[in-house]
Amino acid sequence: MREQVRPAVGNTDVDLSQFRCFIAVVEAGSFTGAAQRLHVTQPTVSRAVQRLETALNARLLNRSTRHLSLTPEGRTFHADLREAYVQLDRAISRLHSSSVLRIGFCWLLPEQFSRFVTRFAKEAGVDFEFVRDDTATAGLHSGHTNVALLRRIPRDLPVAALPLWEETRVAAVARNSPLARRDHVDWAELADWPLVRNTVSGTTSPDLWPPRHRPEVGAVCSNHDEWLEAVAAGRGIGTVPELAARRNSHPSVVYVPVRNAPAVQVSLALPERGAHPLAEQLAAAAGREFSAALAR
């Protein structure tokens, strides 16, 4: 980003690249040496310093074919500029050290994603924290989180979603239900049973079935824990990703494999505007990581 600063004198804007060129010339002792340090051409450095002198209306360097030295004004300006750069470096370091990427989720964070984030953070040299937020965007809409792993993307909120992978569904039924003794059930026959629906972070709603054969809603809740207790109490059945069968046991709930069920899409979501730079980096890395895994 090109940050411009209005000088106290003169009528031309100056920018940080001109300051960097001037400092490099002083430290290298020549325009050629400064160009090598900055990986640019010598004329680029020369023009930058000339524009800086014009903007400040001051001669900063004494030039000759054999010698380059600071003028009195240049010596004072260089000392002040070096001090300002030290303060700038400190400010950037403090900001970087305090910048924590907050990754939201509603429930059941998959192991492969946790491992990926840990590796990404280590390679990028950043810190992160997982934040559970029982809202439709796992905290994105409120700014509580910077990026979120979602299994359902709300249509009425401004988020951009990157699909990562799909999960297989299983049915969750009360242990005393006739379905609990089955080896498997078919997706279509689940429409004959009342449905426990998590309206905030759940992945199952009646409109996933054909219009003429949809389940009635037996209970409504707003988070996964409430949903699990409603299923355990026999208020209806539910379907969740297979991960729940391994990670979220309940003495009164049985998970049954489901055939012909629609998969659950897992996506990484960011705000449509003003996303955290680290969140954008994470999304780019996740796209490479999981698209490659799907290709295999």
Domain CATH number, residue 103: 3.40.190.10
Find the range with the poorest average confidence among 123-127, 208-212, 283-287: 123-127
Please report the pLDDT score of residue 262 as a whole number: 96
- Give the domain CATH number at 61: 1.10.10.10
Give the tokens for residue 256.
């049954």
CB 157 within 8 Å of CB 198 = no
Rounded Cα gap, residues 261 and 171, in angstroms: 10
Asked whether residue 10 carries a pLDDT value surpassing 80, the answer given is no
- Whether residues 200 and 257 fall in one domain: yes
Average confidence (pLDDT) over 153-169? 90
Average confidence (pLDDT) over 15-32? 88
Please report the pLDDT score of residue 148 as a whole number: 96
CB under 8 Å to 217, separation ≥6 — which residues? 194, 195, 196, 197, 206, 236
- Whether residues 186 and 237 fall in one domain: yes
Rounded Cα gap, residues 222 and 106, in angstroms: 11
- Whether residues 191 and 234 fall in one domain: yes
Please report the pLDDT score of residue 94 as a whole number: 57
Asked whether residue 27 is domain-assigned, the answer is yes
For residue 95, the surrounding DSSP H or E stretch is helix 72-98
> Please, which pLDDT band fits residue 91 given cuts at 50, 70 and 90?
low
- Whether residues 137 and 204 fall in one domain: no
**Burial class for 217, CB neighbours closer than 10 Å (0-12, 13-18, 19+):** middle
- Whether residues 232 and 210 fall in one domain: yes
Rounded Cα gap, residues 166 and 264, in angstroms: 5
How many domains, in total, are found in the chain? 3
Please report the pLDDT score of residue 158 as a whole number: 83
Give percent of the chain with pLDDT exceeding 90: 60
- Whether residues 288 and 245 fall in one domain: no
Report CA-CA distances (Å) from 272 to 104, 117, 145, 186.
16, 21, 14, 38
Asked whether residue 93 is domain-assigned, the answer is no
Asked whether residue 9 carries a pLDDT value surpassing 50, the answer given is no
Give me the domain span that covers residue 290: 99-165+265-295
Asked whether residue 52 is domain-assigned, the answer is yes
What would the DSSP string read from start to end of 204-271? --GGGS-TTS-PPEEEEESSHHHHHHHHHTTS-BEEEETHHHHH---TTEEEEEEESPPPEEEEEEEE
Asked whether residue 83 is domain-assigned, the answer is no
Find the range with the poorest average confidence among 51-55, 91-95, 105-109, 127-131: 91-95
- Whether residues 254 and 188 fall in one domain: yes
> Please, which pLDDT band fits residue 87 given cuts at 50, 70 and 90?
confident
> Please, which pLDDT band fits residue 83 given cuts at 50, 70 and 90?
confident
Asked whether residue 294 carries a pLDDT value surpassing 60, the answer given is no
- Whether residues 152 and 270 fall in one domain: yes
Please report the pLDDT score of residue 85 as a whole number: 77
3-state secondary structure of 103: strand
Please report the pLDDT score of residue 11 as a whole number: 46
Please report the pLDDT score of residue 96 as a whole number: 52
Asked whether residue 224 carries a pLDDT value surpassing 70, the answer given is yes
Give phi and psi for 142, each to the nearest 5. Answer: -95, -5
Please report the pLDDT score of residue 295 as a whole number: 46
> Please, which pLDDT band fits residue 6 given cuts at 50, 70 and 90?
very low
Nearest to 240 by CA among 161, 173, 160: 173
- Whether residues 120 and 143 fall in one domain: yes
Please report the pLDDT score of residue 12 as a whole number: 53
Placement of tokens 């403090």 in the chain: 94
Average confidence (pLDDT) over 196-225? 95
Please report the pLDDT score of residue 49 as a whole number: 92
Nearest to 179 by CA among 255, 239, 252, 251: 255
> Please, which pLDDT band fits residue 273 given cuts at 50, 70 and 90?
confident
Last residue in a domain, options 77, 107, 133: 77
